[in-house]
Amino acid sequence: MAKIKIGRLADEITSQLRKYSQVIADDVEQIMDDVTKEAVGRLKSKIQEVGLVQTGDYMRGWTRKRVPNGWVIHNKTEYRLAHLLEYGHATVDGGRVPGTPHIRPIEDWLEKEFEDRVEKAIKQ
């Protein structure tokens, strides 16, 4: 164990806290990368599972994009369909097409999984 003079104690504590916060920040970045990658795969599987595949363009369009503070999962090709398929829409003859929830379950899973993994990383 290193001996520290009392005058340097505050500096040493600050230094150790900076190192610890950098380790946690790196872990959170890796967790974000892993969880978003897995979420895109789960979303594509969910789309097939609920039967929203016609041409496959909607399913293949789901991807993730790096942004300054993390990641965004989005549909880069058929983005105009996402809310219509998720929540339903009106038809030309006055009827309605019911929504098929496929995004919300994955979003809920992603939030919980991210929190669980971050808590686990902090406790280590």
Q: Is 106 exposed, middle or buried (0-12, 13-18, 19+ CB in 10 A)?
A: buried
Give which of 51, 39, 56, 32 is closest to 104, Cα–Cα: 39
Q: What is the pLDDT of residues 11-55, one digit of tens each?
A: 889 999 999 999 999 999 999 999 999 999 999 999 999 988 888
A 10 A CB-CB count for 88 gives 13
Structure tokens at 100: 């098929």
Task: Supply the pTM of this predicted model.
Answer: 0.83
